Amino acid sequence: MDRTAPIGVFDSGIGGLTVVREITRQLPDESVIYFGDTARVPYGSKSPETVIRFSLEDSAFLLRKGVKLLVAACNTASSVSMPALRGGSSVPVIGVIEPGASAAARATRSGIVGVIGTNGTISSGAYQKALREAGGIRTVVAQPCPLLVPLVEEGWLDHRITTLVVEEYMAPLLREKIDTLVLGCTHYPLLKAVLGRVLGPEVALVDSAESTASVVGRTLGEAGLLSGPGVPGLPSHSFYVSDIPLKFQEIAQRFLGRSIPLVTQVEVGDA
Ligand code: DGL
């Protein structure tokens, strides 16, 4: 495998750019190909069978592009699709659940950890299982927060309505006295400020994007596949979506921290 080959990252839509942002921050020499399934987003309200089928189609597109490693940046996809994705891939596949759970196990002092995500992610039980297996965690408080994705996409990151919604969702977690909260959805890192205000400084916020990017670096390093600096024309970052590239481009800045000059529309459904 060519170590200058790109890392493939897929998500149900735009949120996976929070993972790309961390990968490019931690691994600045790596090229990335991103696919956002904007035609079929959201995944968070769909059945596991449908999410697995979509995930396999998304990853097939990236594998055809010659990626050296695949990242399922979408928490909902990671929560149900990892066995199918690993079974169908010739390259390593990394999801966001285990990295997030291990980071939470390192962060907690009391062993009482909360996790928030889409309905699909929370009802899959994947985070709850990974957190219990990570060691040192005695109570897991899981809370679906389906209203948060649309609020983030609307750009209401610091809006009184978002604060009210967050207060409502966080009430059971505060009652259980969590000391660590796993942000189990691509969109939630953008709500760190409001979550921090509502939960208070004693609660550590675990961003699965950060921990996933470090697992990507470790996996590539162990396989001897890290790309080095100084390769002419690299790193390159390309972005593909299945619908409305212009909307993706407009809100990408918020998730990625920089603008994207080109977004290409492709069809992946028949992969
Ligand atoms: N990317 C999804 C996740 O991280 C959120 C958006 C969706 O529901 O598709 O779970």
> What average pLDDT does range 238-265 have in this prediction?
94
Do 151 and 139 share a domain, yes or no? yes
Tell me the residue range of the domain where 154 lies: 98-208
Predicted confidence at residue 271, as pLDDT, reads: 42
Give the C-alpha separation, 23 to 212, whole Å.
Answer: 8
Supply the CATH number for residue 120's domain.
3.40.50.1860
Quote the tokens at residue 149: 């994705």
Ligand 1 atom nearest to CA at 43? 9
Predicted confidence at residue 57, as pLDDT, reads: 97
Judge contact between 115 and 180, C-beta under 8 A: no
Ligand 1 atom nearest to CA at 16? 1
> What average pLDDT does range 244-263 have in this prediction?
92
Do 190 and 235 share a domain, yes or no? no
Would you say the CB of residue 153 lies under 6 angstroms from ligand 1?
A: no
Do 214 and 85 share a domain, yes or no? yes
Quote the tokens at residue 256: 């990625």
Active site residue 74: yes
Do 127 and 178 share a domain, yes or no? yes
CB-hemisphere CA count at 13 Å for 210? 12
- The structure's pTM equals 0.96
Q: Does residue 264 carry a pLDDT above 70? A: yes
Predicted confidence at residue 270, as pLDDT, reads: 55
> What average pLDDT does range 29-42 have in this prediction?
97
Compute, in angstroms, the gap from residue 7 CA to the centroid of ligand 1: 20
Do 183 and 261 share a domain, yes or no? no
Closest CA relative to residue 51, chosen from 37, 69, 33: 37
Do 200 and 221 share a domain, yes or no? no
> Tokens 């697995």 appear where?
52
Give the C-alpha separation, 21 to 24, whole Å.
Answer: 5
In 61-218, where do the E strands start and end? Answer: 69-72, 93-95, 112-117, 139-144, 180-183, 204-207
Q: Which of 126, 185, 194, 263 is catalytic?
A: 185
In tens, the pLDDT along 181-235 reads: 999 999 999 999 999 999 999 999 999 999 999 999 999 999 999 998 999 999 9
Do 226 and 202 share a domain, yes or no? no
Ligand 1 atom nearest to CA at 42? 9
> What average pLDDT does range 45-51 have in this prediction?
98
Number of domain units in the chain: 2
Point out which residues pair with 11 in neighbouring strands.
Answer: 36
Active site residue 185: yes
In tens, the pLDDT along 51-103 reads: 999 999 999 999 999 999 999 999 999 999 999 999 989 999 999 999 999 99
> What average pLDDT does range 33-38 have in this prediction?
97
Do 138 and 11 share a domain, yes or no? no
Return the best residue to mutate from 35, 37, 41 for the ligand 1 pocket (most ligand atoms within 8 A of CB).
41
**Residue whose CA is closest, atom 6 of ligand 1?**
42
Return the best residue to mutate from 20, 71, 149 for the ligand 1 pocket (most ligand atoms within 8 A of CB).
149
Quote the tokens at residue 234: 């690299």
> What average pLDDT does range 7-24 have in this prediction?
97
Residue 179 forms part of a structural domain: yes
Domain's final residue, options 208, 234, 255: 208
In tens, the pLDDT along 130-179 reads: 999 999 999 999 999 999 999 999 999 999 999 999 999 999 999 999 99
Q: Which of 33, 74, 137, 268 is catalytic?
A: 74
Quote the tokens at residue 6: 């790109």
CB atoms closer than 10 angstroms to residue 223: 14
Report strand pairing: 264-265 vs 93-95.
unpaired
